[in-house]
Amino acid sequence: MNREQAKQKVEASLALGCYTAAPWVEYREAYIAEKAADLIACIIQPVSATVVAASFPECSFAEYQESKVWAIAKSGDNWLLTLEGKPDFALGFGSDPASIEMLGFSSADALGEWLG
């Protein structure tokens, strides 16, 4: 996977819409558009990632341990993870992509996962 492929995968997810509620903002659509632009700006040259732990391991942890995982966006110690060949995204944490802890949830909603 390269950066352009990662961007295309995120953009395909964004085109489906984001299900994140944002009751604290007056204009949800503007907020979502802003956060989507922020996510696009954080896309990196993908790096292979290894998920070693999850806050909620009963959710998607096993699938992320058993599959090829790419880290495709980064902000501080937050990573947007995706599974190779699947429209699935998860939020990961850590300084080293070889040792990522994930929140535990995953979905086809890249922005929703990125926002936690």
- DSSP for 31-80 reads HHHHHHHHHHHHEEEEEEE-EEEESSTTTTHHHHHHS-EEEEEEETTEEE
The proportion of the chain whose per-residue pLDDT surpasses 90, expressed as a percent, equals: 85
Strand partners, 54: 102
* Vertex 54 angle, CA 33 and 22, to 5°: 25
Residue 28 identity (one-letter amino acid)? R
* pTM, entire model: 0.93
In this prediction, residue 36 carries a pLDDT of 96
In this prediction, residue 86 carries a pLDDT of 96
pLDDT per residue as tens digits for the range 33-45 = 999 999 999 999 9
Please give the Cα distance from 73 to 8 (Å, whole number).
Answer: 12
Residue 21 main-chain phi, psi, to 5 deg: -75, 145
In this prediction, residue 21 carries a pLDDT of 79
pLDDT per residue as tens digits for the range 18-73 = 888 777 778 878 989 999 999 999 999 999 999 999 999 999 999 999 999 999 99
In this prediction, residue 19 carries a pLDDT of 82
Please give the Cα distance from 55 to 100 (Å, whole number).
Answer: 11
pLDDT per residue as tens digits for the range 64-103 = 999 999 999 999 999 999 999 999 999 999 999 999 999 9
What's the token pair of residue 108? 């086809």
